[in-house]
Amino acid sequence: MISRRSEQIPPFIVMEIMEEAFCAERAGRHIIHMEVGEPDFDTPACIKEAAMRALAAGHTHYTHSLGIRELREAVSAHYHQKYGVEVGPERVVITSGTSPALLMIFAALLDSGDGVITSNPGYACYTNIIEFVDGVPQEVPVFEGDGFQYRPEAIRRSISARSKAILINSPSNPTGNLLDKRVMEEIAGMASPRLCVVSDEIYHGLVYEEKEHSILEFTDHAFVINGFSKLYAMTGWRLGYLIAPEPFVRPIQKIQQNLFISANSFVQWAGVSALTEAGKELDEMVAIYNQRRKYILPRIKEIGLGVAVEPHGAFYVLANARHFTDDSLAFARELLEKAGVAVAPGIDFGSGAEGYMRFSYATSLENIALGMDRLGEYLKGYPRRDGA
């Protein structure tokens, strides 16, 4: 018999759309990919060279389950330099990407039936991971007019005796928006040894014309998740890390030992280079992302979709398509089939995003322009649900 857990976990719809797009390409069609959040840049040369040096030096075996000391010290120094916070390397756990980090945090934090405050909409996999360890997502609606930010009073109303954590993600997937510093401070003020904040900071560094903040600036009752996939264009390297309150390090270490043993050895040495040597390349990538952001926002509005609050982080725009559809998955498949453009349906990110479409601008300006041209042509004269 197949387990209930594996039967009930939903698919990651963005990946399904991407795989359908790959099928179309194998059939000979040209598809513009704006569905998946994967940088189109190559990994910076200094990082690849560090990995090759590590391989040549024989770093091909298990490491300490917490990660190599050099990388944990580099993470500690990075958080001190960027945010002015003291994070000892003994609180850093190196992971094979940020998804294992999330899994281990919730496995260490939650007993069956314990709750985690999450936003709706929010990143698709959060609720799936929480439920996978028998936790309960306690969804708080967030709204387009607020830039999809939490309203602190709504969080307070949702906290129950079984709540163990408040999950935040700034800059956010799928919206690209940042939490206002004041809102983050209010959320941090709710934290305690019994109710921590889990802050997904994977899109830090990908911020335009504003400034991101780490939750550790405001409270020690917090976990941080971060990594190298997005900012450093290292999705295939599978390298991330978590920062945990000291009492949780040993429980998480034991979970790591049993489930993952350690992150890849030579990849960890590449991570040291990423944090200490890749500054110039990062600046260039961020400048190009911002150029794309400034281009795609008016184009999205031109084709008839709505963006009430412009995003200033990550590489996403969550656009309102409700006057075209109330079934974002069917609409995404229609746009793929009829216009040759792959975008992510809002429903993947929660019921609050139904009728929205997420555009990723982690692709070239030429691809974005062609994709928007195709969508604009297809939607010209498209029947609107509001009759306009």
Q: What strands lie across the sheet with 316-320, from one edge to the other? A: 32-34, 341-345, 356-360, 316-320
Q: Cα separation of 269 and 72, whole Å? A: 11
DSSP secondary structure code for residue 373 in this structure: H
3 state DSSP class of 65: coil
Instruction: Please list the residue range(s) of the chain that carry CATH number 3.40.640.10.
Output: 57-277
Q: Cα separation of 105 and 183, whole Å? A: 23
Give the list of residues 6+ apart from residue 312 with CB closer than 8 angstroms, or none. 171, 176, 177, 178, 207, 208, 209, 210
**Residue range 57-277 in CATH 3.40.30.10:** no
In tens, the pLDDT along 31-62 reads: 999 999 999 999 999 999 999 999 999 999 99
Residues of the chain with pLDDT under 50: none
Task: Classify domain 4-42+280-379 by CATH number.
Answer: 3.90.1150.10
- Could you tell me the pTM of the whole model? 0.94
Instruction: Render the burial of 18-36: b for 16+ CB within 10 Å, e for the rest.
Output: bebbeeeeeeeeebbbbbb
In tens, the pLDDT along 154-194 reads: 999 999 999 999 999 999 999 999 999 999 999 999 999 99
Q: Cα separation of 381 and 144, whole Å? A: 26
Residues facing residue 321 across a β-bridge: none
Q: What is the pLDDT of residue 388?
A: 57
Q: Cα separation of 244 and 105, whole Å? A: 8
Torsion of Cα atoms, 21 then 24 then 26 then 30, to 10°: -90
Instruction: Please list the residue range(s) of the chain that carry CATH number 3.90.1150.10.
Output: 4-42+280-379
Q: What is the pLDDT of residue 246?
A: 97
